[in-house]
């Protein structure tokens, strides 16, 4: 898969969403520090005993963590998780969407396989080392943390990753791809369009040699909807 073949271009996205929306803190309430920290403590207590904490923990990324990890990384590898696959299934009413036109972000859901990147963080106090990525991923209450085996070319490691939280009101269940594409195409937020999140994830995976049919199909569908809007049609929206 070549990045030059992407139908979802920067210009197409910018034409549909020329500016950022003002942030609306009421659109998606975030967990407070006490709740976030308690969740990390619970996850650390469930960490498999086989993990060598002194060597630095591993985190498995499959979406925006691949292209914007925002934490210190001392090693990274291409990795495969079995029993889970990436899917757009979490509404984003803030950041990459709004209350009126929520976008979607990726989560892991049960079944299949997922190829992504496993990052090794620095050694040290596990709570302190993991807190930056934990706070980023868990404040929106859309994820549950799991310790999962990740197969890499240099062996299997056990990593922390983030799977969909079906109890959260952001969880959509399994939408079909046309419905997903309509939500992504129409959404914009304080961090930019939902389509930009999709495009950057497809590009990051392509650069690593990771092909994901779900992502590849969606970028083409979203591009179709943005082109329709640019030519005077209406971008189909799903509630």
SS3 4: helix
Which one is catalytic: 35, 37, 70, 137? 137
Q: Which residues pair with 86 in a beta bridge?
A: 108
Measured CA to CA, the distance from residue 93 to residue 104 in angstroms comes to 8
SS3 97: coil
Of 72, 76, 75, the closest CA to residue 130 belongs to 72
Do strands 188-189 and 192-193 pair parallel, antiparallel, or not at all (unpaired)? antiparallel
For 134, phi then psi, to 5°, come to: -65, -45
Of 198, 40, 173, 183, the closest CA to residue 110 belongs to 173
Residues 6+ apart with CB under 8 A from 60: 79, 81, 116, 117, 118, 119, 148, 150, 159, 160, 161
Measured CA to CA, the distance from residue 168 to residue 66 in angstroms comes to 24
Specify whether 70 is catalytic: no
Q: Which residues are catalytic?
A: 137
């Amino acid at each position: 898969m070549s990045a030059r073949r992407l139908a979802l271009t920067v210009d197409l996205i910018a034409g549909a969403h020329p500016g950022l929306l003002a942030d609306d803190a009421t659109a998606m309430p975030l967990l407070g520090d006490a709740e976030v920290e308690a969740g990390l403590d619970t996850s650390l207590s469930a960490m498999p005993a086989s993990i060598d904490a002194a060597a630095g923990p591993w985190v498995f990324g499959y979406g925006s963590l691949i292209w914007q990890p925002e934490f210190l990384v001392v090693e990274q590898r291409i990795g495969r998780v079995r029993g889970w696959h990436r899917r757009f299934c979490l509404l984003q009413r803030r950041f990459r969407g709004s209350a009126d036109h929520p976008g979607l972000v990726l989560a892991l859901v049960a079944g299949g396989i997922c190829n992504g990147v496993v990052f090794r963080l620095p050694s040290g106090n596990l709570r302190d080392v993991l807190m930056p990525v934990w706070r980023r991923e868990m404040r929106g209450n859309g994820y549950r943390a799991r310790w999962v085996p990740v197969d890499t070319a240099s062996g299997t490691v056990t990593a922390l990753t983030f799977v969909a939280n079906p109890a959260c009101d952001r969880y959509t269940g399994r939408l079909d791809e046309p419905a997903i594409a309509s939500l992504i195409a129409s959404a914009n937020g304080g961090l930019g369009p939902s389509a930009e999140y999709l495009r950057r994830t497809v590009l990051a995976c392509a650069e690593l040699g990771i092909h994901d049919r779900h992502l590849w199909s969606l970028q083409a569908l979203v591009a179709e909807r943005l082109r329709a809007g640019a030519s005077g049609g209406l971008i189909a929206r799903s509630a």
